[in-house]
Amino acid sequence: MSVAVETKALTPPDIAASKGKDPVVCLTAYTTPVAQLVDRYCDVVLVGDSVGMVLHGLPSTLGVTLDMMIMHGKAVRRGLERALMVVDMPFGSYEEGPEQAFRNGARLMAETGCAAVKLEGGESVAETIRFLTARGIPIMAHVGLTPQSVNVFGGYKVQGRGGDGDRIFRDAIAVAEAGAFSIVLEKVTEPLARRITERATIPTIGVGASDACDGQILVIDDILGMFTGFRPKFVKRYAELGSAAEAAIAAYAADVREGRFPAAEHLFADAPKAGDVP
């Protein structure tokens, strides 16, 4: 999808209709100022549960709560005009079954103003996806490496190698047939992502998947060089803001220690001078 000039917000059906057309550009965001930046260039903004690792210092996404997603979702909502906002359902908020998933998905939508939620899993969550979409909750699905199952996989491993590709293929088709409007394919082999994209009737959004996917998503802190915990092969760095920020902080600390800050222009006289803020 090209960067559009219209201000109408994109909807899940708009994204579903982009299958096989212009690439769907997606990034994560967790705060208002970053959402404002991303909104201008992206079709979908995901308030991902990756927030737990990149902003809260958690070792995985497993400790992320519904309240955290609601707080970050509200902040992102205030920064968006055009992009479709999707919020992740955190670990433990939907796996018990359709009723639990509906209760928590509805809360995410009502309290954050998002237009859709994302949940992880394939055939095992197909019934839940059918239940939620029939009741007004659009679903972005997520198959392949599903980080909330990191302990089952034994690490953040490439999925779909060996005989496992057919299972992931069936997962993708199951969530599409259940009514999801798009599917994230994470860290799967390239031929498998291509095969799913050719067969699925809804857009595939790749993250470490294939250039054949209908769209791409990355974590904003990864592309900006702000998250240095680890760096997956599928991340492309577009800036080194982490090291730029460190240099700025070091310069400030040195200025304070050596008496260069604050300088006269940062201080207030008894009577205001021309150009002073009140």
CB of 32 to ligand KIV, least distance (A): 18
Quick one: 200 or 254, whose CB is closer to ligand KIV? 200
Instruction: Write the single-letter amino acid at 67.
Output: D
Binding site for ligand KIV (CB under 6 A): 28, 46, 48-50, 88, 184, 207, 217, 219
**CA–CA dist 54, 220 (Å, integer):** 9
**CA–CA dist 89, 105 (Å, integer):** 7
Q: Which residue of the chain is nearest ligand KIV when measured via CB?
A: 48
CB of 48 to ligand KIV, least distance (A): 2
**CA–CA dist 147, 40 (Å, integer):** 28
* Residue 186 a catalytic site member: yes
DSSP lists the bridge partners of residue 141 as: 119, 183
CB of 93 to ligand KIV, least distance (A): 14
Which H/E stretch holds residue 101?
Answer: helix 98-112
Quick one: 126 or 207, whose CB is closer to ligand KIV? 207
Quick one: 46 or 114, whose CB is closer to ligand KIV? 46
Quick one: 137 or 217, whose CB is closer to ligand KIV? 217
Catalytic one of 120, 186, 240, 258? 186
- Secondary structure tally for the chain: helices H, strands E: 11, 8
- End-to-end C-alpha distance for the chain, whole angstroms: 46
**CA–CA dist 77, 36 (Å, integer):** 9
CB of 267 to ligand KIV, least distance (A): 44
The residues carrying an active-site annotation are 186
